[in-house]
Structure 1
Amino acid sequence: MARVGPHPAVADVRRAVREALADLPPGALVLAACSGGADSLALAAALAFVAPRRGLRGGLLTVDHQLQPGSAERARQVAAQGEVLGLTPAEILTVTVGKEGGPEAAAREARYAALAQAADRLRAAAVLLGHTRDDQAETVLLGLARGSGVRSLSGMAPQAGRYRRPFLHLPRASTVAACRAMNLTPWDDPHNADPRYTRVRVRRKILPVLEDELGPGVAEALARTARMAREDADALDQWAESAYQVCALSDIPGSVTLAVPELEKLPDAVRRRVLRRAAIAAGAPSGALSATHVLAVDRLVTRWHGQKAVDLPGSLSAVRRYGTLIFAISPIA
């Protein structure tokens, strides 16, 4: 009997995109970030199908990182594919990748900066990213290796600001099957097989070993762990925000003062979130503020014996005085 309706994988990717865009008003512009790989190509094709049926406008952005010979031509091919699918605009964003933080981090920073600028310029309501359940599993394993805490273990959010990830619950095999069923030919990025990249080693070595030793379903279990960890982290963040309002005696740019007696009443996980929140409010760069910094400040509350101020990123110091914890530009007079 002939199949009625689309291939199951095609139906899955279309349904995922449709659900991700359900809250957007008619006429809104949605952009698919597309590298030409199976995940993002399936995403672009699903957007091209869903957008007009939801009264939305669908477009495509592809980033040329200029890291490989022929990258400009590859970007032109991806943009042309977007136009064939009916996505307008279909733009190429050419970036220069720096070196700070390593090649993966630098490329990611350049990519997201370009996507954000294009989304602002085009007044897009949302930018879709093609991360799958497998990507989520890799992110959780990397978080475990760094020992970064529950927020890191929560992986990538299904929605963060303008960015939406419809495929986080779908395996990579679904996007590959969807492309095949729609007669789309994905591009295999050589960087995805380069063992110099940590994520590639996780994908090609660590996850397969876990599947062999523990049985199938490891990626799905890790993604489920991320979802539960995100729920817990969100709840703790909400608690910490409420606690911050109680603890903060003053909160102005460059200086935050917290009441130590109120901090002492809080559970460790909540108190440390409050301390991080205070340091950032005072001017510490969030990316440079590490768990080590926060723990050092925490000792001013929990292990107080008259110790000196704690130096923090952004030329800040945290010091305890007369039952208060003061975050301010160094040195504190």
Structure 2
Amino acid sequence: MSRAAGATPRNPEPTVPRLPETEAVLEVRRAVRGWLAEYAPEARSRGVAVALSGGADSLALCAAAVVEAGSVDALVVDHRLQAGSEVVAADAAAAALKLGCRSARVLAVDVGSAGGLEAAARQARYAALDAARAGLPVLLGHTLDDQAETVLLGLARGSGGRSIQGMAAFADPWGRPLLAVRRATVRQLCADLGLKPHEDPHNSAPEFTRVRLRTEVLPLLEEVLGGGVAAALARTAEQLRDDGAVLDALAGELLRAASADSDGDGSDIDGVSLSIETLATAPSALRRRAIRAWLLAGGAKALTGKHLRAVDELITDWRGQGGVAVGGGRPGSRLVAAREHGRLTMRLR
């Protein structure tokens, strides 16, 4: 949940700065320009929002976006997890206005505890950004190095190709123009512009898994494998995402076919039972994707690979086993997927 942090500072007449044409500046600008052309061509007339932490990545993104997009609203989330966080947030907002943003707003949030500190802070941050974006896409400063770390985290979960697809360049309303830009490049841009990024102590705290990946695991992999590991992981994520889009489309066709002789015409999968025979004869890669989409549409929550395998076994390895609880439901009842009379059903029990 976010709280208002006073009036939104605005530039009455924001001036687009002339940035030095250094290698780092030009690389970041090209990345932002290419992203805008592909995903937000209307940005020149409407503008974009940038999630600004005050760190090097988001400062670099903000500087480039002001030049390439024209109108930028900076959204600064204050998680209030450290003493003096309000000063850091205020400094970031001031930097945004100096860079030429038309507005800079500080969003103070309350961070819960569900799922651990990192997950709770992420949930609070995205909720606040979504509420404040005023219909604009929100640009995030994730770099190629962040993408590589995300792929490694997904690999450790072992839940299939979807978990190592990394972050999307655009998942409405979230945009990530810097996924092909190295962290060192955004730091160099800040140095070229004389910006002093905030160094978040959490980014060097070894109790966080991502920090250990950044400071221990990836450097070791680079040393052992001869370099290029981060870029290779990012390329792998992009290729898997492209493949996944095709598989998802084919799985959608399978899902419509499996539900076609159920209630209605099969166009609405929410609450519709599925033909066991149709699913059983499909390739496993498509069948499991179709099952996942069907479960999520029916209200399943926090699906895991274990859930999907158990539901898949109702189709391919039927031994009379009972239904599978798939999360979701209501107080006093569970959402259960089961095999009934040749169909896969989902009911509250």
Normalization by structure 2: what TM-score? 0.88
Counterpart among 71, 75, 80 of residue 61 in structure 1: 75
1:41 aligns with 2:41: no
Counterpart among 239, 255, 271 of residue 271 in structure 2: 255
**What secondary structure does 2:318 align onto?**
coil
**What secondary structure does 2:272 align onto?**
strand
| Counterpart residue number, 1:19 | 34
Residue 254 of structure 1: how far off its partner (Å): 6.6
| Counterpart residue number, 1:324 | 343
1:97 aligns with 2:111: yes
Uncovered stretches (5+) of structure 2, i.e. residues with no partner: 1-18, 329-333
| Counterpart residue number, 1:282 | 298
| Counterpart residue number, 2:10 | none
Are the counterparts in 1 of residues 270 and 294 from structure 2 also a CA contact under 8 Å?
A: no
Residue 253 of structure 1: how far off its partner (Å): 8.2
Are the counterparts in 2 of residues 254 and 328 from structure 1 also a CA contact under 8 Å?
A: no
Counterpart among 129, 133, 158 of residue 147 in structure 1: 158
C-alpha separation between the residues in 2 aligned to 1:14 and 1:237? Answer: 33
Uncovered stretches (5+) of structure 1, i.e. residues with no partner: none
C-alpha separation between the residues in 1 aligned to 2:203 and 2:188? Answer: 19
C-alpha separation between the residues in 1 aligned to 2:340 and 2:325? Answer: 15
1:210 aligns with 2:218: no
C-alpha separation between the residues in 1 aligned to 2:281 and 2:48? Answer: 46
1:236 aligns with 2:247: yes
Residue 91 of structure 1: how far off its partner (Å): 0.5
| Counterpart residue number, 2:9 | none
C-alpha separation between the residues in 1 aligned to 2:135 and 2:276? Answer: 45
Are the counterparts in 1 of residues 66 and 99 from structure 2 also a CA contact under 8 Å?
A: yes
Q: 1:153-164 counterparts in 2 under 5 A?
A: 153-164=164-175
Aligned structure 1 segments of 4 or more residues deviating by more than 4 angstroms: 251-254
Residue 275 of structure 1: how far off its partner (Å): 1.1
* Cα RMSD for the two superposed structures: 1.5
Of all paired residues, the percent bearing the same amino acid is 48
Q: Which amino acid aligns with 1:172?
A: R
Residue 244 of structure 1: how far off its partner (Å): 0.5
Residue correspondences, number: 318
Are the counterparts in 2 of residues 256 and 328 from structure 1 also a CA contact under 8 Å?
A: no
Are the counterparts in 2 of residues 13 and 42 from structure 1 also a CA contact under 8 Å?
A: yes
C-alpha separation between the residues in 2 aligned to 1:253 and 1:20? Answer: 34
**What secondary structure does 2:199 align onto?**
coil
| Counterpart residue number, 1:193 | 204
Residue 49 of structure 1: how far off its partner (Å): 1.4
Give deviations 1:204-248, integer Å, cap 9, x for gaps: 000011111111111011111111111111111111111111011
Q: Which amino acid aligns with 2:135?
A: R
| Counterpart residue number, 1:269 | 285
Q: Which amino acid aligns with 1:150?
A: G
Give deviations 1:28-56, integer Å, cap 9, x for gaps: 1201111111111000111111123xxxx
Deviates more, 1:310-319 or 1:169-178: 310-319
C-alpha separation between the residues in 1 aligned to 2:270 and 2:321? Answer: 22
Q: Which amino acid aligns with 1:97?
A: V
Residue 117 of structure 1: how far off its partner (Å): 0.5
Are the counterparts in 1 of residues 55 and 199 from structure 2 also a CA contact under 8 Å?
A: yes
Q: Which amino acid aligns with 1:209?
A: L
Give deviations 1:63-86, integer Å, cap 9, x for gaps: 000000000011000001111111
Are the counterparts in 1 of residues 252 and 290 from structure 2 also a CA contact under 8 Å?
A: yes
Q: Which amino acid aligns with 1:27?
A: S
Are the counterparts in 1 of residues 269 and 294 from structure 2 also a CA contact under 8 Å?
A: no
Are the counterparts in 2 of residues 31 and 128 from structure 1 also a CA contact under 8 Å?
A: yes
Give deviations 1:165-223, integer Å, cap 9, x for gaps: 11100111110111111111111111100001110000000001111111111101111
Are the counterparts in 1 of residues 20 and 193 from structure 2 also a CA contact under 8 Å?
A: no
Q: 1:110-149 counterparts in 2 under 5 A?
A: 110-119=124-133, 122-124=134-136, 126-149=137-160
**What secondary structure does 1:185 align onto?**
coil
| Counterpart residue number, 1:246 | 257
Give deviations 1:286-305, integer Å, cap 9, x for gaps: xx121111111111100112
C-alpha separation between the residues in 2 aligned to 1:49 and 1:182? Answer: 13
Are the counterparts in 1 of residues 20 and 192 from structure 2 also a CA contact under 8 Å?
A: no
Q: Which amino acid aligns with 1:295?
A: R
